[in-house]
């Protein structure tokens, strides 16, 4: 069994944003030289997500509005967590909806994807450097 590990770094200039990281994961997969196995792609920070969905900007606007409705940022005082001096309690909730991680099948050296699957980094408390972990195991 072979394994490969790589960190991807991001610094989203706004509080929230979505970045298509599919090509960076594909690059890590090529570097791994693994042809059959599983790839785990996970947010290393607890106010961010990794998820798979569509690369369509209207949908990303919809996600942003929808998450803000389900877990509003304001008023920050509505969350006990923000009594610690933080203002990001909503980001911890948005990340649970969108998920921490995805596991992707590796077949014939490629991400084994359906027609529209793309991997995204979802940032809910940005304006600082944060990481995604890519871990691939297989042969």
What is the closest distance, in whole angstroms, from the C-beta atom of residue 112 to a copy of itself in the complex? 6
CA dihedral 10, 116, 16, 71 (to 10 degrees): -130
What is the closest distance, in whole angstroms, from the C-beta atom of residue 127 to a copy of itself in the complex? 17
Task: Identify which of 110, 137, 129, 136 has the alpha carbon closest to the alpha carbon of residue 13.
Answer: 129
Nearer to a copy of itself, 5 or 30 (CB): 5
| Residues of this chain that bind a copy of itself (CB under 8 A) | 1, 3, 5, 36-38, 40, 42-46, 51-54, 56-59, 61-63, 66, 70-71, 79-84, 89, 92-93, 95-105, 107, 112-117, 131, 133, 135, 137-139
Q: Cα–Cα distance between 136 and 97 in angstroms, integer?
A: 25
> 3-class DSSP state for residue 1?
coil
What is the closest distance, in whole angstroms, from the C-beta atom of residue 40 to a copy of itself in the complex? 5
Nearer to a copy of itself, 14 or 108 (CB): 108
What is the closest distance, in whole angstroms, from the C-beta atom of residue 138 to a copy of itself in the complex? 7
Answer yes or no: are the C-beta atoms of 126 and 17 closer than 8 Å.
Answer: yes
Q: What is the C-alpha R_g of the chain? A: 16
């Amino acid at each position: 069994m072979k394994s490969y590990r790589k960190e991807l770094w991001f610094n989203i200039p706004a509080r929230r944003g979505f970045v298509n990281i599919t090509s960076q994961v594909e690059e890590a997969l090529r570097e791994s030289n693994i042809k059959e196995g599983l790839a785990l792609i996970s947010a290393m920070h607890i106010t961010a997500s990794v998820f798979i969905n569509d690369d369509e900007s209207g949908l990303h606007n919809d996600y942003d509005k929808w998450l803000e409705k389900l877990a509003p940022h304001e008023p920050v005082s509505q969350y006990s967590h923000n009594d610690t001096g933080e203002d990001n309690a909503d980001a911890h909730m948005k990340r649970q909806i969108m998920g921490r991680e995805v596991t992707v099948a590796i077949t014939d050296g490629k991400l084994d994807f359906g027609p529209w699957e793309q991997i995204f980094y979802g940032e809910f408390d940005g304006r600082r450097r944060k990481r995604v972990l890519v871990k691939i195991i297989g042969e």
